[in-house]
Amino acid sequence: MRSEPVRPKIMGVLNVTPDSFSDGGRWLDPAEAVRHGLDLTAQGADLIDVGGESTRPGSRRVPVEVEQQRILPVVRPLVAAGVSLSIDTMNAATALATAQAGAAYVNDVSAGLADPDMLDAVSDTEAGLILSHWRGLLTPGRAPAHYDDVVGEVLAELELRVEAARAAGIDDSRLVLDPGLGFSKNAEHNWQIINGFARLLTLGLPVMIGASRKRFIGRLLPAALREPDADPETVLRAKDAATAAISALMAHRGVWGFRVHDVASTAAALAAAGLFEPTEGESR
């Protein structure tokens, strides 16, 4: 008997930073950030991914104290409201503090490579850990890494991080993988990963996708929207539509979750794919 497909999780992005690539500065006020997190949840997000340090190309690290000053006043009210959270951080101290405050996942884009204490810190909590493929943050002018077989190399390097997490005492049931679209990868690499997604499932662990609003998505837009003077809001709406299309196309491929800025469009895309039920009381 064929089992029913599992609806992927929707992870709504909540950046409480001044310099994130698409929404930097919009949610710096904790009260506004909390309201936005509640709005994303109402739109269909299963998790809210709270980040206090930008990882866009060319970004600079911030002191861990600053990161926590941005994050914790948002985490505590959202947890109190029953919202499930992941924390986008590369700092072990922040991972520990937010897990103790009730965050369900730590989302480390460096997979524990940026902070050698990260895996041990997460091991001491009950939080899940999202391990992303990473070859270091990009600086302006630095080319993406070279790959002979991008899917195979990403898979092999993620397996090493899984082994490190296991050695730190983190059970497989707490692990999620992310191929790290856009991190040391060009547009062709990203599409090869998306098209070869099935290979990433061979480790037997959940795998999420974070394509939302990234530069390679922008290359899909009409020429007029790729011009420097294009209206930013129109560009974002177009990127969100493309992201939602990717979600719909990949919905039945075994994706664990999609990390997105526009939750409503991905929820609608999953509904179109037959994997998202409207909440009770909504018209059909």
pLDDT tens-digit readout, 114-165: 999 999 999 999 999 999 998 876 555 565 688 999 999 999 999 999 999 9
Please give the mean pLDDT across all residues of the chain. 88
Q: Over the stretch 216-237, which tens digit does the pLDDT of each residue have?
A: 988 888 899 989 899 988 998 9
Is there a catalytic annotation at residue 259?
Answer: yes
Give me the numbers of helices (H) and strands (E) for the chain, helices first please: 10, 8
What tokens does 279 get?
């909440």
User: Quick one: pLDDT at residue 57?
Assistant: 59
Tell me which of 9, 174, 213, 214 is the catalytic residue: 214
The CB-based long-range contact list for 234-243 (8 Å cut-off, 24+ gap) reads 236/22, 236/261, 239/22, 239/212, 239/213, 240/212, 240/213, 240/265, 241/265, 242/217, 243/211, 243/212, 243/213, 243/217
H runs (alpha helix) in the chain: 30-43, 64-80, 92-100, 118-123, 150-167, 187-195, 197-200, 215-218, 232-250, 263-272
What is the number of residues in the chain?
A: 284
What tokens does 191 get?
């599409």
Please give the average per-residue pLDDT across 84-105, as a whole number. Answer: 96
Is there a catalytic annotation at residue 9?
Answer: no
Those residues whose C-beta lies under 8 Å from the C-beta of residue 241, and which sit 6 or more positions away, are 265
> Residue 169 pLDDT more than 90?
yes
Indicate whether this model's pTM tops 0.85: yes
User: Quick one: pLDDT at residue 215?
Assistant: 87
| DSSP state at residue 107 | E
User: Quick one: pLDDT at residue 283?
Assistant: 40
> How crowded is residue 12: how many other Cβ atoms within 10 Å of its Cβ?
29
